[in-house]
Amino acid sequence: MTVPVRGVLFVCHANMCRSPLAAGIFIHLARQRGVADRFDVDSAGTWAAEGIAPHPLSVDAAQRHGIPVELLGARSRSIAPADLDRFGDIVVMDRRNLADIERLRRISAFGPVVGGSARLSLLRSFDQPRARGRDADVPDPVRGGPKQFEAAYAIIYAGCEALLERLLGMDAGPSA
């Protein structure tokens, strides 16, 4: 039985720090488990300038943990309405990102917005399902130094591990 490819899009504000790091971590974990071919993974930002490279401190954090830099993606991009159909799962870093994407899904004055079948989730909901408020967010390290990026890495890694487990469990279906 062939398992269909599942689209996973990680989203933060500018697609420079958290979401590229999350995509890289997720792909790395999937490769370690031998299941990377089951996923179409990308990252985007709700307010991203197009074409910016991943933040150097995100790159440093990835490299310190043995994650190949190319897994973080080459350049930033903004989320597009078509992403809401292309990806089955859109995983956001914080509640503000979630609200921004939910606005994309609403009906406009001109009719239904294209795109909307994706499941939206906060990354921390996978490893910290009871987290509320700020505790449900992955803090944005952009104005911080290496310690803030390392803290963000640890949170993102835990969330990606739990997300991968959940998605692999969903693909397995009910046990016989």
Q: What number of other Cβ atoms are within 10 A of residue 44's Cβ? A: 24
Catalytic position from the list 17, 18, 83, 124: 18
Q: Which of 134, 56, 54, 59 is nearest to 93 (CA)?
A: 134
**Is 18 noted as a catalytic residue in this protein?**
yes
Distance of CA 91 to the CA centre of its chain: 4
Q: Which of 24, 6, 1 is nearest to 168 (CA)?
A: 6
Catalytic position from the list 42, 89, 137, 140: 140
The whole-angstrom separation of Cα 161 and Cα 137 is: 16
The whole-angstrom separation of Cα 133 and Cα 125 is: 12
Quick one: tokens of 56?
Answer: 């150097």
**Is 137 noted as a catalytic residue in this protein?**
no
**Is 140 noted as a catalytic residue in this protein?**
yes
The whole-angstrom separation of Cα 90 and Cα 150 is: 23
Residues identified as active-site: 12, 18, 140
